[in-house]
Amino acid sequence: MKHHRFRENVTHLTALATLSAYFFVVPPANAASSEWAQSQGGAVRIVADRPQPDGTIPAILDIRLKPGWKTYWLEPGASGIPPQVTVDPQDGISFSGMRFPAPAAFDDGIVSYTGYDRSVAFPLSLKREETGTSEQTGDLTLKASVFIGICKDICIPVQADLSLPLPAGLAENPLDKARIDDAVSALPEEPSDTFKVTAATFDPAGKRMRISLLLPWTNQTAPPELFLAGPPGYSFGKPDSMTTENGQVTADIPVRVPAQGGALKSGSVLLVARINGRSMETPLAFD
């Protein structure tokens, strides 16, 4: 009789365990992440989704910073390291660049630089390469070389080779997919009727740029923050004058021109403007 009751108890416990496992199965979310590459001030990894019907692969460079550490924007300043990603094209994935949330300006009394003082994610522009067939399917592996700077009292370059399998039936952590969506939603908005550049000129002889902006209405009196990134060798100082007239702000900005420089081409300079919690990004078309 005791043995019979023991078998009943074992059977009952097995059934409960099976039922518990059923209810705690994580549903597929179609996103996965590489291993973290660790450094003294933080860590970096890539999070990616499987290819979409048009071949694009949603993905981010995910940077986790320890308290007090910083990393850099596209144009980091004189002493910074701009983030770099290289993707191996032999794996059937093309890479056309990164996008960045609006940065912040920092000045430690010795040097000034532009970047982020908290964990941040940069969306990556990835796409499955064409194979000549009407349907792009099958397993992929994303292999990327990453180079970033993570800084506190000193700046530590972080070099990492990251690999991420993207099988056709990918089903992974739903939190990773949410991180991709959050990173995209944090990007600056596109120009609109209420937030845009209305004029931009560049004087190569005077080494100055003038930008006029229409800003969204705000009751704060602080001027907008402007961040500029241009071709290699060019750098941009803080506006040395900023005036408001007819609802528009005009900023005069000194430009450092390389020895072999000259006139900047339209579209070669990226502007990010931020005011009252909103940010806008646009390439500058010079008059």
Q: What is the pLDDT of residues 12-43, one digit of tens each?
A: 433 333 333 323 333 344 568 899 999 999 99
Domain range annotation of the chain: 37-186, 196-284
Determine the Cα–Cα distance for residues 84 and 120; give it in Å rounded to an integer.
15
pLDDT of residue 181: 95
pLDDT of residue 125: 96
Q: Which fold has domain 37-186?
A: Immunoglobulin-like (2.60.40)
Which of 197-203's residues contact partners 24+ apart within 8 Å by CB, and which partners?
Answer: 197/271, 197/282, 197/284, 197/285, 198/248, 199/287, 200/284, 200/285, 200/286, 200/287, 201/286, 201/287, 202/255, 202/263, 202/264, 202/286
The larger pLDDT score, comparing residue 168 to residue 71, is at: 71
Determine the Cα–Cα distance for residues 91 and 203; give it in Å rounded to an integer.
44
| Cα 267–chain centre separation | 20
Residues 266-274 have a mean pLDDT of 95
pTM for the complete prediction?
0.84
pLDDT of residue 247: 76
Is residue 10 pLDDT above 50, yes or no?
A: no
pLDDT of residue 33: 87
The larger pLDDT score, comparing residue 182 to residue 244, is at: 182
pLDDT of residue 70: 94
Is residue 62 pLDDT above 80, yes or no?
A: yes
| Reported CATH class of domain 196-284 | mainly beta
pLDDT of residue 208: 94
Which range is least confidently modeled, 35-44, 84-93, 172-181, 276-285? 172-181
pLDDT of residue 79: 74
Determine the Cα–Cα distance for residues 248 and 216; give it in Å rounded to an integer.
10
Stated as kind and residue range, the H or E segment containing 248 is strand 248-256
Is residue 103 pLDDT above 90, yes or no?
A: yes
